[in-house]
A and B are shown apart, each in its own frame.
Chain A
Amino acid sequence: MPFACIYVPNFPLAATLRAEPERKPHAVAILEGKPPWEKIIAVNEKAARMGIAPGMTKSQAELCSELVLRPRSPLQESAAHAALLDCAQSFSPCVEDAACDTALLDLAGMESVFGSFPEISRAIYQRATTLGLAASVAVASNPDAAVLTARGFPGVTLIPAGKEAERLGSLPLEVLFANRIEKDRSPGDQKKNAERLLETLDRWGIRNLHALAALPEVALSERLGQEGLRLRQLARGAAARTLVPVEAPLVFEEAVALEHPIVLLEPLAFLLNRLLDQLCARLASRALATQELCLTLELENFSPRHRQAKINNQQFLRTLRLPQPMLDSKVFLKLLQLDLNAHPPGAPIVKIHLAAAPAHPRSAQGGLFLPPSPEPEKLELTLARIAGIVGENNVGAVELRDTHRPEGFRMRRFMAETSGKLEREKVSGPDEEKSAVTALRRFRPALRVHVTLENSQPVRVRCPKKKDLQGDVLWKAGPWRASGDWWEREAWARDEWDLALRNGEAISFYRLVYDLLGGNWFVEGTYD
């Protein structure tokens, strides 16, 4: 039964470089600890060539001017770990979260989906690279052999069944204890035991797994106990165990803590672009999209006192709700930019947190004979841009309210949904033509006019703000009285008149309204 292991070497450094890919060509070192006792815990190859090694102090490392020093970031490490699990879950439902830098997956039955094992291993490697992780991938017949191979050999390695001992033999003994030695968070006695065992084996002249595998079983058991036997089994690549599968939670969050606060929106857009790319890649690896993006910006004057009191007033929160699930980082970026332009944070930004609520991608298929409809992504961008021009509440679809009140409608989000076609076709005929209905063109707000009355009927109208809206009334109909909401604070009562006025050579028809509560005359619109 084949197993694959994805291992990210130098994990704190890999997590940092995932967030800052432009630093990959530079010499980078990761610092950990409280100032002034900060020490280097991870370096990349270029930094190592420059003589920088883990354990050096920050002041020692700063002597090298070209070295880029970054503090260890738990936020970025947790995001990288989530990305690692996403990568594994995209190939197999049975995934073990072996360590923060290691994921094991069971490949049984996956050949029919993804191809042969070499193809699967290459695809896993490419997916990890897409997610920003420089990982090594190994496929072996048992999980422990896959882990040792991934830790020992860079790139993609495939060990045929029965050849484990031969391939693992050249690896140094440290790979057996790498997990326990590198992890500073592991209990101290485990680390000490590992160092003691290594020292003992070193004294015996055992330098690699081949030598360890060749030791006699009984003699090793007498000297090192069960731990010795377990190590021998591992070295032979013959250890067998079952995976402990975990289901990675569908949490898609990326965050970046900034060394220097950001004031302008342009550099913020640059960082958002990177975070969105990572989020979209993770969502794509799980065959998901998103319908809601939540951006949280921590502003500079967020004091520790506020943090203790859990007051969120210094966090700037923007939520982007989309009408349909989408997965286009460029569209998301533009929408966030437009939103931030309309609602700027108002203070320097020190931390960016971006979360996407996962949703199943929309499964709509356009028909050859259906009328064209706007592309959802394009339409959303266009509406956001237009909202920036005319105002947020001045663009959208109209929804009538259940009231007789004039202007009884509200604006809502416009969605180009093509569903419900069949239902409508059943209700009404396909293309029945109605007679034209006289439309009212409204003046918003209504024009206040002076009205001359005779026998309580308007005979002359004069509007100070509209020169062509004045003159003798040629024809009139009314009054039509209407009132409502008298039981509420916003009561209304009015008399409506339809009247004709001479407008140059033509005759225009208007709706004249007398506000019974306010005692004023208004022209509400013209019939056109």
Chain B
Amino acid sequence: MSSAVVSTSAALGRPFLFDAKAVPELSLPSQPSQGHPRARPPQRIHPTDFSVNLASSDPRLAHITSASRLDIRPAPEMVSSGVSSIDALTGGLPRGCLTEICGSASSGRTTLLLSALAAATRREEFCVVIDASDALDPHSAVAAGVELDRLLWVRCGASQNFRNPEKPALPKKFRQNNQSASDQPGANYPDSGQSDSRRFENCLEQVLRATDLLLESGGFGLVALDLGDLPQPAARHIPLTTWFRFRRAIEHTSTILLALEQHPIAGSCSSLLLQLGSSDDPILPAEGFAAERRKKICRIEQPGFDLPCPTHAQLLTGLAITAELIRSRLERKPARSSAAFASKTAWAG
């Protein structure tokens, strides 16, 4: 029995088949094309009528949904990002879609990424961070609640010559005798031997190849591309077809693809685009133990005055972050709204 694909149900993710012998033509046999060749073309059957007519001949065809009745796209499953304000704003992070998080330095991108990773590892999922600039701080990740056993870290920007974390820099007295100048921190910063643009190109190539392999491998709940420190010209080098490929690779899977950037670069491939930034007063006021400590120090240093406070009485307790929803393909209409949330430093009590 020969068969052909009529339509694909995105909702069910499987093709519908019909018997080509049973349905030889779409034109009605009662109106043959006779006479002048420019005569009225044979009457076309409405797909619904078509299936209804065929249903009488073959009961299996009664279950076929016509293409006109199919949903445009099934709504993706939304999962928590780990920040309730973001969840309220976007509905969460969509599975099987690309989400872009943009912002400059200190805008809260990494905080949101770590919150999403923590939420994913709490859901017993395995996660990947493909780190273009080797910027992840494992201690921050642990403080955010990320389960490190479930996190795969691909350090694309790591210099091969850079020292191993297990082998820390030597103190000065030993360094003078045993280490060359190139071993000192900062001395072998990746610009040694190659230009910045070349370095970023290599880095980007590693990121894209690793992402391709990991998305093809599958099975990860969240795949994060950290391009946050890549300059805009270098990030723009990623062709749009690559983003289409990534989006296609995770389509119909439960993987969340998250990209951290300074500016949006994936174009229409991203289903969700969030722009993060710091509020007008980015430092959170000290609370609890930190505030008590500050007041105490202020009283000792300058009795009678609360301000100005000495620097050792100051404390970075957290950042006030604003999030703006630039694009969401999950809504019927383009949404543009914002939310605010605060992050606390691990030592803020």
Contacts and interface: CB of A to CB of B under 8 A. Distances in A.
Interface of A: 370-375, 378-379, 381-383, 385-386, 389-391, 393-401, 405, 407-411, 414, 416-418, 421, 424, 428, 430-448, 457, 465, 468, 475-479, 489-492, 497-498, 500, 503-504, 506-509, 515, 517-520, 522, 525-528
B142 to A, nearest CB: 6
A522 B187 CA distance: 12
A386 B210 contact: yes
Given A390-B210, A444-B162, A445-B186, A374 B172 contact: no
B319 A525 contact: no
16 contacts: A371-B124, A379-B217, A409-B139, A433-B82, A433-B119, A435-B344, A436-B144, A436-B344, A439-B141, A441-B135, A457-B311, A500-B282, A517-B172, A518-B172, A526-B106, A528-B109
A371 B106 contact: no
Contacts of B106: 503, 506-509, 526-528
Contacts of B314: 475-478, 498
A508 to B, nearest CB: 4
Q: Closest 10 CB pairs between A and B?
A: A374-B219, A477-B314, A448-B186, A439-B110, A394-B155, A528-B110, A517-B171, A382-B217, A436-B343, A508-B106
A223 to B, nearest CB: 76
B122 interface: yes
B312 A478 contact: yes
Contact of B113 (A381, A439, A442): A439
Q: Name, among A408, A441, A507, A527, the residue most crowded by chain B CB atoms within 10 Å (CB to CB).
A: A441
A390 B191 contact: no
A436 B111 contact: yes
A50 to B, nearest CB: 51
A58 to B, nearest CB: 52
Contacts of B111: 436-439, 528
Contacts of B316: 438, 477, 498, 509, 527
A503 B283 contact: no
A439 B105 CA distance: 11
Interface in B37-74: none
Interface residues of B, number: 99
Given A382-B216, A439-B137, 15 more contacts: A372-B254, A386-B209, A390-B210, A391-B160, A399-B148, A437-B346, A439-B111, A442-B134, A445-B162, A477-B315, A504-B104, A517-B173, A522-B185, A526-B106, A527-B316
Given A373-B126, A382-B217, A395 B154 contact: yes
A416 B123 CA distance: 14
B244 interface: no
A178 B310 CA distance: 101
Contact of A439 (B144, B169, B185): B144
Contacts of B160: 391
A518 B185 CA distance: 10
A416 to B, nearest CB: 5
Given A431-B122, A492-B168, A504-B104, A374 B137 contact: no
Given A448-B186, A518-B172, A528-B106, A479 B312 contact: yes
Contacts of B82: 433-434, 436
B108 interface: yes
A476 B213 CA distance: 43
A394 B155 CA distance: 5
A374 B254 CA distance: 12
A209 to B, nearest CB: 59
Given A433-B80, A503-B106, A440 B140 contact: yes
Given A374-B126, A431-B123, A437-B345, A503 B104 contact: yes
A21 to B, nearest CB: 33
B181 interface: no
A509 B311 contact: no
Contacts of B172: 517-519
Contacts of A383: 152
B282 A507 contact: yes
Contact of B153 (A370, A382, A397, A465): A397
Contacts of A517: 171-173
A322 to B, nearest CB: 16
B140 A526 contact: no
Contacts, number: 280
B156 interface: yes
Given A489-B174, A507-B106, A525 B124 contact: no
Nearest to B220: A374
B277 interface: yes
Contacts of B315: 477
B83 to A, nearest CB: 5
Contact of A438 (B126, B145, B149, B318): B318
A432 to B, nearest CB: 8
Contacts of B174: 489
B135 A397 contact: no
Interface in B8-27: none
Contacts of B108: 436, 528
A528 B118 CA distance: 16
Contacts of B210: 386, 389-390, 395
A436 B115 contact: yes
B50 to A, nearest CB: 38
Contacts of B173: 517
A291 B343 CA distance: 44
A519 B176 CA distance: 13
B145 A434 contact: yes
B206 interface: yes
Given A400-B148, A438-B345, A372 B221 contact: yes
A528 B154 contact: no
Nearest to A434: B145
Nearest to B219: A374
A464 B147 CA distance: 37
Interface string B281-319: 011000000000000000000000000000110111011
A506 B219 CA distance: 39
Contacts of A526: 105-106
Contacts of B185: 445-446, 448, 515, 520, 522
B136 interface: yes
Given A395-B155, A398-B153, A444-B162, A509 B319 contact: yes
B65 to A, nearest CB: 26
A417 B110 CA distance: 26
Nearest to A421: B124
B171 A518 contact: yes
B152 A528 contact: no
B140 A398 contact: no
Given A433-B82, A441-B110, A518 B175 contact: yes
B311 A410 contact: no
Nearest to B120: A371
B107 interface: yes
Nearest to B118: A434
B153 A396 contact: yes
A410 B165 contact: yes
B140 A439 contact: yes
Contacts of A398: 138, 141, 148, 151, 153
